[in-house]
Chain A
């Protein structure tokens, strides 16, 4: 399977990149100002959350806007990929029924698109860090492994969602609810550990998205080191998910066409 995977990646990697570029391009094609929404969208939500939770609920996090913005950016990446992957096969019927290609290539395409948007957002994070004069330490380098784990974990989850999305018609509805719950438990706009002292620390470690977001905040804003053990744990879990997901897709992908 590994050999097949490497061959396929070599063969289809360019397709996924070119296809992602063209998707971004067609988003912009409608009006040239569309790309502004890639920036405005997270920026506006950041302002809303900063107002409501910083002012109305009186949150006392240091650098609160940056704190929220990092959370939102990473959550958006995770959320958009997962929601997009459920109907991915159905939406790509025109190509799925005409040529063979490994179906996770569609996921890769989707991920490049969202990765690009996430990078735009991180550009704003950098600007905000400069504006808030946040002191920088070597811990900032942890953002790379954290992003890598986020991508792997997202990809692994997406593989399974894409697979079951073919057979389970209302998976999308269920997913929206589950994701909303995870969203609130992840502490995008509040500090889980302070607000729920009893469960907070556990929630922050055993919820991978929360762990990664917290880790990112620690490394970028507070100059702290994320917990090594859990970083490695989630790296392992993510890799396992990816391997199992790709195996599942290889095994079942040729029957997808029959049910769409």
Chain B
């Protein structure tokens, strides 16, 4: 095994604003507008060591989430490469498409399978997930009857308990009511503290970032600004943003 868990080389990701077109527009003359290309990530290269906790900070729209999605394999890079050295990866984001008519329990099974776990693994963790989510008897009620808090609790519990080698966390450091917030934050810390787990966190919560991360990557407009130990980077960031 290589000592790096994630290696990103010269990564570029572009969005083309107007890629979809309609036949009607093409038929009736209106020239298709030239698609404006938005470069979300420009020439980023960095490595994350195994067991490291990397925080990514930057303004809204600076390409942080796009970067996470690319690492998760949801986006393909336009150029450059991302090497995960065969580690399993999951993106922790609220609500992996639940089916509204089905019960919480069935949704756990579906989401788990979608995340690439086997039925056996999911069944083994089922009770743990239900317990952590604190849904109690509601777990067998259809998800459409859930309150938004319950919904996010369930979503968090699924991704937090079905673990993978690399965890990507996109602004979900706290969900639910105050008590569950504390609990999920604690669980998150516990997950992150695991020596073998590599974690990448995107957040605007600087306190949480400085609390959790061992290294910080600061990007602006998809470009690399600064990278290094948590404290100096955060100090510089606050100075410039403040």
Q: Is B241 an interface residue (CB 8 A)?
A: no
Contact of A257 among B74, B93, B119 (CB under 8 A): B74
- Considering only CB atoms and an 8 Å cut-off, how many residues of chain A contact the other chain? 33
Contact flag A101-B99 (CB < 8 Å), given A168-B20, A170-B24, A258-B15: no
Residue of A nearest to B24 (CB): A170
Query: Which bucket holds chain B's interface residue count?
Result: 20 to 34
Residue of B nearest to A26 (CB): B101
CB distance from B142 to the nearest CB of A (A): 7
B-binding segment of A14-22, A44-52, A71-79, A211-219: A14-22
CB distance from B21 to the nearest CB of A (A): 7
Q: Is B161 an interface residue (CB 8 A)?
A: no
Q: Is the CB of B102 within 8 A of A26?
A: yes
Contact of B73 among A29, A100, A170, A255 (CB under 8 A): A100
Chain B residues in 8 Å Cβ range of A101: 114, 116
Q: Is the CB of B115 within 8 A of A99?
A: yes
Q: Is B110 an interface residue (CB 8 A)?
A: yes
Q: Is B23 an interface residue (CB 8 A)?
A: yes
Chain B residues with a Cβ under 8 A of chain A: 15-16, 19-24, 69, 72-76, 90-91, 93, 95-97, 99-102, 106, 109-110, 113-116, 118-119, 142
Can you list 24 A-B contacts with CB-CB less than 8 angstroms, sorted by A residue number? A18-B110, A22-B99, A26-B100, A29-B142, A30-B101, A94-B96, A95-B96, A95-B114, A96-B74, A97-B69, A98-B95, A99-B90, A99-B114, A99-B115, A166-B20, A168-B20, A168-B23, A169-B21, A170-B24, A254-B73, A254-B76, A257-B74, A258-B15, A259-B20
Chain A residues with a Cβ under 8 A of chain B: 11-12, 14-15, 18-19, 22-23, 25-26, 29-30, 92, 94-101, 166-171, 174, 254-255, 257-259
Top 6 nearest A-B pairs by Cβ distance? Answer: A26-B101, A254-B76, A94-B97, A95-B97, A15-B113, A100-B73
